[in-house]
């Protein structure tokens, strides 16, 4: 089962200064934290804050290209999490039908928000995050466990919307 999600917040993890993208499920009070790269965070933030550059950045360039060749991004799905790494698929369609490609979630989300496409998270990912069966904090100390618990209980009100 897929759960539709929206971007709740884009912030910086205060412990390691890494960009943190928070996705909130539309059908449940669950927030999914995904650590992403600085360049991808900048790309996502630029769209969310409606910043336009003189020259196209990488995700803008790719968006311009797929528009020229008449390809449409339909949706993205975050399909799994293994060893603290999230996996995603970017679905697109053209004159020959619907296709998908493997993607990092941050790149898929950067493309989806440019295309106005929906973001989905597979139920299996949610279950892994809830049970921490295959997902554990990189920091296995007591402090790391507290941080993991904190992240799993975040709500929209915990962060200002789209703060960078």
Give me the residues paired with residue 80 across strands.
87
Instruction: Copy the structure tokens of residue 142.
Output: 């007591």
The pLDDT score that the predictor gives to residue 159 is 56
Which residues lie closer than 8 Å to 60 by C-beta, 6 or more apart?
Answer: 53, 114
Q: What's the pLDDT tens digit per position in 134-163? A: 434 456 677 767 777 776 666 656 555 555
Give me the residues paired with residue 105 across strands.
none
Cα-to-chain-centroid distance, residue 65: 22
Which helix or strand (DSSP H or E) is residue 87 part of? strand 85-94
The pLDDT score that the predictor gives to residue 14 is 85
The pLDDT score that the predictor gives to residue 131 is 80
Radius of gyration of the chain (CA): 16
The pLDDT score that the predictor gives to residue 135 is 39
The pLDDT score that the predictor gives to residue 140 is 64
Q: What's the pLDDT tens digit per position in 83-111? A: 889 999 999 999 999 999 999 999 999 99
From 3.40.50.720, 1.10.150.120, 3.40.50.1820, 3.10.690.10, which CATH number describes the 2-158 domain? Answer: 3.10.690.10
Q: Is the pTM of this model over 0.85?
A: no
Instruction: Copy the structure tokens of residue 120.
Output: 């989905």
Task: Please tell me the distance from the alpha carbon of residue 144 to that of residue 75, in angstroms, as a whole number.
Answer: 33
The pLDDT score that the predictor gives to residue 69 is 96
- Find the distance separating the first CA and the last CA of the chain, reported in whole Å: 31
The pLDDT score that the predictor gives to residue 133 is 46
Q: What proportion of the chain, given as a percentage, has pLDDT over 90?
A: 71
The pLDDT score that the predictor gives to residue 158 is 59
pLDDT-derived band of residue 16, with 50, 70 and 90 as boundaries?
Answer: confident
Task: Please tell me the distance from the alpha carbon of residue 77 to that of residue 87, in angstroms, as a whole number.
Answer: 9
Which residues lie closer than 8 Å to 147 by C-beta, 6 or more apart?
Answer: 15, 137, 139
The pLDDT score that the predictor gives to residue 118 is 98
């Amino acid at each position: 089962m897929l759960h539709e999600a929206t971007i709740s917040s884009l912030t910086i993890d205060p412990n390691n200064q890494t960009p943190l993208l928070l996705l909130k499920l539309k059908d449940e009070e669950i927030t999914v934290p995904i650590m992403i790269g600085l360049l991808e965070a900048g790309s996502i933030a630029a769209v969310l804050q409606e910043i336009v550059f003189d020259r196209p950045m990488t995700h803008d360039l790719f968006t311009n290209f797929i528009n020229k060749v008449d390809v449409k991004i339909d949706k993205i799905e975050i399909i799994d999490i293994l060893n603290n790494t999230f996996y995603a698929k970017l679905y697109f369609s053209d004159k020959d039908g619907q296709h998908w490609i493997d993607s990092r979630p941050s790149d898929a989300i950067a493309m989806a928000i440019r295309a106005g496409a929906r973001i989905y998270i597979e139920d299996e990912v949610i279950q892994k995050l809830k049970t921490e069966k295959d997902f554990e904090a990189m920091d296995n100390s007591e402090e790391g466990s507290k941080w993991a618990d904190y992240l799993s209980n975040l709500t929209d009100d915990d962060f200002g919307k789209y703060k960078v």
